[in-house]
Structure formats: structure tokens, C-alpha cells
Amino acid sequence: MPRVTHPSSPGLFPEGDSPRSRIAYETRRTTQKAAQAANRRRAVPRWQQFLGRRATVIVPLALVGGLVLWGWASGKLAAAGNAVDAAFLDVTARGGLQVQEVLVKGRKETDGAQVLAALGVERGSPILGFDPHAARKQLEQIPWIASARIERRLPDTLFVVLTERQPMAIWQHEQKLALVDAEGTVLTDHNLDHFPNLPILVGEGAPKQGRALLAALASEPTIQSRVDAAVLVGARRWDLHLKGGLEVRLPEMNFEAAVHQLAALEASDKILERDVVAIDLRVPDRLVVQSSPAALAAKAAAKAADKKRQAAAKKN
């Protein structure tokens, strides 16, 4: 018997059980479901959609980054890296890349043991583990060395080029002697007898101020050859102590002109060969000469003898 649907009870399909009604109903349901799904997608923010699509990449990267950060903070990463480096250097050394020879060019006064200590290498050390920049800094801490250059010549040689400082004078300070260069750097206080021809500078700060004085003396060889020592007085001016005990007092300003003046007086009057103990050039355009006691005594005796002769002449 055919099923009869009461108007008040619409049954499975609201518009009836005919094929056309079923098709219309299914079409509306499909459209409604699609609209609901689209509405749900639009409700999710775009940044969440972006993260959702890339979560498979971001999450593993974050985990790896966290592990690396933890390893660095705990020191385990550095320890692992050091172990890898040590293993690599050991392999290269066993393969022949090891220090067997150190060649040094330009070394005259620098002690060889100091050079090797500054380089910090031993025969058989991995040459790829040697740091030329750090070694150069250590070499330039040695007083005699002004600059250094280091090359690794594979497979087994270190080549070192040194530029040594040039000694300028012997510095006397607080009853001690030391060798200094033109910049005032103390080079050594040993074996000073190896430098017998260097001038002596005396006083606090004398090495740094002595460069200009020694240049002025070098321009007047007749004066330079007679200087035994130069004394810095009050950190302002120089006194020259010449061979034979003569003292020359230079002015604070423009002492170069005073040195030239002294050389001119020696050339014209042989003033340095006279019986004098001091020459004062501190006042411009004025020369003060102090005779020796013996010269003063001889001069007094000559005056007394002259007076006697004059008195005798008057009596006669």
C-alpha cells in the first residue's frame, strides 16, 4: 500500500517524496553546507591560516634553534667545536702540516729565545693551529722590536720578519743607565758597553726631549764630537757637558740657534780651547764666559805684576 504523508507531518523531504522534490532538497542542503564552510574559513584570521600552513617548517626550526642556544649557553657547543678543531689539527699534523723550522729575518739585538717564546710554538706543532696575528702582537711587546710580520709557509715553515728599534742614546736616571731609542723607549739595560759612541742623556723625561737636541748637535759636528752628556734641567732646557769639563748652558727656547752660535764662536775664536769652565748662552745675543780658577788666578797675578811694574816705573 502506498505511504501517505499527512500535510501536518511533512516527512523526510519537506516538499514531498517526488524525484524533483528530492533533487531540489539535496541541492539546497549542499549549497547551505558550502556556505557554512566558507563562513567558518572567513572567521579564521589570516595570520592563523599562515601559521597553520607553515607549522611543519617553523616548529622544527624553533626546536633546532632552541637546542643550539642551549648548547651555546651551557658550553657544550663550544666544547664540541673545540674537540672537532683539535681532531682536525691532529689529522693535518700527522699528514705533514706541522712546524719544523722557524726562519727569522732582521734580528740583530733581539734575543732568539724571546722570539721563540713570543711565537709560542714547538717543533711538531700543527702549523694550521698557529695564529700569526696573535704571535705578531706578542713579538711587538719585546722592547727591541718595532714591528713584525709572520708568514706560514706550508707545509712546515714559519717565516718571521723583524724591524728593530735603533738606539739613540744612553739614558741616566736615578743612578741607573739604560739604552733608549728616538721615541724614548727603553730597549735594555744590559751590555751597554756595546754602544760606546752614543751620547748620554740625563734627567727625567730626557729621552723623549732628546731627539731634537741630538738633531741640532748632529748639524754641528765640531760641537757634537765634544759632548759627553746632555742634562735636562727642570724638564725645560739643556746643559751640555763637554770633554774636559766645560759646561755650556743652552736657552729654553730656540736652543738650535744657540748651538749654531757656539759652533761659529769655536770656528772664529776657538772658544772651546780656552781656559774656561762655563759658557752661558741662555740670554739671546749675549755671551757669558766663566773662566777657570787657574785662569782667574793667573789673570790676578798678571794684574799684580803689572801694577808692580807701573809702581817701579813711577819711582824711577
Statement to judge: residues 176 and 270 lie in one domain:
yes
Specify if 62 maps to a domain. no
Domain finish residue from 116, 143, 164: 164
Question: Domain limits at 117?
Answer: 97-164
| Percentage of the residues of the chain whose pLDDT score is greater than 70 | 68
Q: What is the pLDDT of residues 142-159, one digit of tens each?
A: 999 999 999 999 999 999
Going by pLDDT thresholds of 50, 70 and 90, the confidence category of residue 103 is very high
Cβ–Cβ under 8 Å, residues 156 and 99: yes
Residue 69 has pLDDT above 80, yes or no: no
State mean pLDDT over 82-101.
Answer: 77
Alpha-carbon distance of 206 to 213, in angstroms, equals 10
Closest CA to 239 of 225, 266, 258: 258
Specify if 86 maps to a domain. no
Statement to judge: residues 224 and 246 lie in one domain:
yes
Specify if 155 maps to a domain. yes
Statement to judge: residues 132 and 211 lie in one domain:
no
Domain finish residue from 164, 194, 216: 164
Specify if 210 maps to a domain. yes
Statement to judge: residues 193 and 248 lie in one domain:
yes
How would you class 246 by CB atoms within 10 Å of its CB: exposed for 0-12, middle for 13-18, buried for 19 or more?
buried
Higher pLDDT, 244 or 89: 244
Statement to judge: residues 291 and 178 lie in one domain:
yes
Specify if 301 maps to a domain. no
Please list, residue by residue across 89-125, b when 16 or more beta carbons sit within 10 angstroms of its beta carbon and e when fewer do. Answer: beebbeeebbbeebebeebebbeeebbeebbebeeeb
Cβ–Cβ under 8 Å, residues 91 and 102: no
pLDDT the model gives residue 172: 95
Q: What is the CATH number of the domain that holds 108?
A: 3.10.20.310
Statement to judge: residues 182 and 285 lie in one domain:
yes
Higher pLDDT, 184 or 6: 184
Tell how many helices (H) and how many strands (E) occur in the chain: 9, 12
Statement to judge: residues 191 and 285 lie in one domain:
yes
Statement to judge: residues 134 and 171 lie in one domain:
no
Going by pLDDT thresholds of 50, 70 and 90, the confidence category of residue 18 is low
Alpha-carbon distance of 164 to 145, in angstroms, equals 5
Element (DSSP H or E) covering residue 201: strand 200-202
pLDDT the model gives residue 4: 36
Number of domains, the chain: 2
Specify if 217 maps to a domain. yes
Report, in this order, helix, strand and coil percent for the chain, each rounded to 5: 50, 20, 30
| Three-state SS at 171 | strand
Residue 238 has pLDDT above 80, yes or no: yes
Statement to judge: residues 158 and 186 lie in one domain:
no
> 276 in the Ramachandran plot: left (φ > 0), alpha (ψ -120 to 50) or beta?
beta
Statement to judge: residues 179 and 227 lie in one domain:
yes
Specify if 146 maps to a domain. yes
Residue 235 has pLDDT above 50, yes or no: yes
- The phi and psi torsions of 305 (rounded to 5 degrees) equal -65, -35
Q: What is the CATH number of the domain that holds 279?
A: 3.40.50.11690
pLDDT the model gives residue 232: 96
CA distances from 14 to 18, 20, 27, 28, 180 (A): 11, 12, 13, 12, 115
State mean pLDDT over 126-136.
Answer: 93
Statement to judge: residues 206 and 232 lie in one domain:
yes
Cβ–Cβ under 8 Å, residues 139 and 119: yes
Higher pLDDT, 83 or 224: 224
Going by pLDDT thresholds of 50, 70 and 90, the confidence category of residue 284 is confident
Statement to judge: residues 177 and 282 lie in one domain:
yes
Domain finish residue from 140, 164, 188: 164
Q: pTM score, two decimals?
A: 0.65
State mean pLDDT over 28-51.
Answer: 62
Specify if 23 maps to a domain. no
- In this structure, what is the dihedral angle of CA atoms 212, 216, 219, 225, given to the nearest 10 degrees? -110
